[in-house]
Amino acid sequence: MLELKPSPSSTDTATGEYRERRRAMLKFLDRHADSIQGKLGCFDRILIQGNLRHIGNSYEITKYFRWRKMMFKGFQEWAKPYSESIRADVKAVADAAGVEIQVIRKSRSVRKEDLIEGVLKTRGRHPGIVHILSTMEACMTYQPWHNKKTHENYLRPCTGKCTHFYVYFIDEELGLCHLRIPTWAPFKLQFCMNGHNWLANEMTDVGIEFAQVDNAFTWVEDLAAAQKIADEFSPERLHQRLDAMVERFVPTLLTIDGGIQWGIAQIEYSTDIMFDRSDVLSPVYEEVVRTLSHAVKPDQISMFLGKRLAPSFEGELGTGFVRRTEGMCLRHFMASSGIKIYDKYGRILRIECFTNKVSFFTHYRTVHHRDGTESFTKAPVCKTIYSLPDLVRIMAACNRRYIEFIGAVDDPTNEIRAVERISQRVRKNDRTYRGFNLFDQGDLSVIRAIAQGQHVGFGFRNRHLRSTLPGRSSAQVSRIIKRLRMHGLVKKAARSFKYHLTALGKRVAATALKLKEMFVIPSLRGRLATT
């Protein structure tokens, strides 16, 4: 058996439930253990935005101008010297590195990553400046405004265009990165890195051998040690490197009062399941994707992401196929976040949690209130880069729940015995409890109810089942729960009226729905079509 140690999330508080979930994840891995080296979780793409504190938004820059006793209509005259100085900074960096700045007239017609890859083939991958690109792109800026209702003058946000420099370089610690430098106020920087490149450098430093292709590892000598390094990603060290980059590439920004605040704009966390051979992964991936495209429902997407699907939710929610260079990618999304699954180079099955808004996730943390008090409560994740250790735990748990679901629906033939088991009568204390018949509409509605993502992920009470089983009274639902407990499908949480699906219950629910929706119903339709 593979020795894997996923870290428990804030939603997995009960030790028994955490162990069951761990066994559920191992189920898929154990099924293919002869062909799997192991798994490795790590940050993938990280996009960080650097905001100048005093001019980062219209409210702050209005305060800044008033504090400096400057006129709002002089905003452009104030910003122009900084713009020219930034251009000179980038020109000096290019001259010192012996690199010519390449101007791109139409940024959408050119893929920057392809250009950089071509440069790397001739230059090599040693630390230093790789290339610098210049392109005209849209940017956020400000304009003076007079409010005729309040008779107040201030700077309000608007959109414009300015030259942006993309400085691509190989950092000794972080690997290949780039810094996007705008030449107009508010001078919002954008830094991009890949966590796999950082992990590769860290493993090299400690002597762990590995094989890497692009942003993926096809083989790692010591997976446990590599996972330990990945889990200890240091935001303090990253902060130091970011400040050093600003001082090196665009020191002009350090002359503006307030300093730079670094926040997470986009982030991806991947869990790679490494297979030995592509001929093994290919049929597995094809079957998994085909199954998931039918089996994953909206409430299960929210469960993967650790959220309850509230009736008031108005954002986008669904599943879609995305074509990638390597092949087909199945993407589940909920508003600005989601999970996707795809294969890389025929050797790696990657499950990747992503978000464009880290505050989508919540966790328990110390909250500082405006009245000066503090409380430890559940709150959205902060945007700062110092939330990275929390995101490791949260996003890894999202990937783990997805792998659990794959394990439940991956191979229904191994679960038929469990389905047959629940169809039998159970007798206890001189009382008989009838089994569950998947072809009975009433029993199937019960299975569908307990298989809902929010019930699987967070448990349920009597009232929750009544909302999904219309027309059933509280007493009737209580008897249904009793039947489920007698057949070992659910268990009661200690000191509460909440019930959770057991490992058997999850397998049976997933298998029952898959057999019904993907095999039985299509077969019946085929027969009807031929008669």
Note the pLDDT tens digit of each residue in 162-175: 999 999 999 999 99
CB 338 within 8 A of CB 331: yes
Angle at 18 between CA 12 and CA 24, to 5 degrees: 120
User: pLDDT per residue over 375-400, tens digit each?
Assistant: 999 999 999 999 999 999 999 999 99
Q: Distance between CA atoms of 25 and 128, rounded to whole angstroms? A: 42
Angle at 512 between CA 427 and CA 297, to 5 degrees: 130
Helix (H), strand (E) counts: the chain? 17, 19
- Return the number of other C-beta atoms located less than 10 Å from residue 385's C-beta: 22
Give CA separation, 445 vs 347, 448, 464, in Å: 40, 5, 14
Question: What would the mean pLDDT of 442-447 be, rounded to a whole number?
Answer: 84
User: pLDDT per residue over 452-475, tens digit each?
Assistant: 766 666 788 888 888 888 888 999
Q: Distance between CA atoms of 330 and 341, rounded to whole angstroms? A: 5
Give CA separation, 374 vs 196, 274, 363, 366, 381, in Å: 37, 44, 16, 7, 16
Q: What pairs with residue 192 in β-bridges?
A: 47, 178
Q: Which two tokens stand for residue 271?
A: 């869990």
Q: What pairs with residue 189 in β-bridges?
A: 50
Least confident of 41-50, 278-287, 350-359: 278-287
Least confident of 20-34, 139-153, 317-331: 20-34
Residues in the chain: 531
- Return the number of other C-beta atoms located less than 10 Å from residue 255's C-beta: 8
Question: What would the mean pLDDT of 68-83 be, rounded to a whole number?
Answer: 96
DSSP-based three-state secondary structure for 43: strand
Q: Distance between CA atoms of 454 and 490, rounded to whole angstroms? A: 15
Cα distance from N-terminal residue to C-terminal residue, the chain: 49
pLDDT of residue 11: 43
Q: Which two tokens stand for residue 58?
A: 């219209």
Least confident of 52-56, 202-206, 462-466: 462-466
Residue labelled with tokens 């979780």: 41
For 394-436, what is the HEC assignment?
HHHHHHHHHHHHHHHHCCHHHHHHHHHHHCCCEEECCEEECCC
Question: What would the mean pLDDT of 404-411 be, rounded to a whole number?
Answer: 74
Q: How far is CA 258 from the centre of its chain?
A: 32
Give CA separation, 525 vs 448, 456, 519, 520, in Å: 21, 30, 10, 9
Give CA separation, 236 vs 220, 388, 404, in Å: 27, 10, 33
pLDDT of residue 357 exceeding 90, the answer is: yes
Q: Which two tokens stand for residue 54?
A: 């005093």
- Return the number of other C-beta atoms located less than 10 Å from residue 239's C-beta: 16
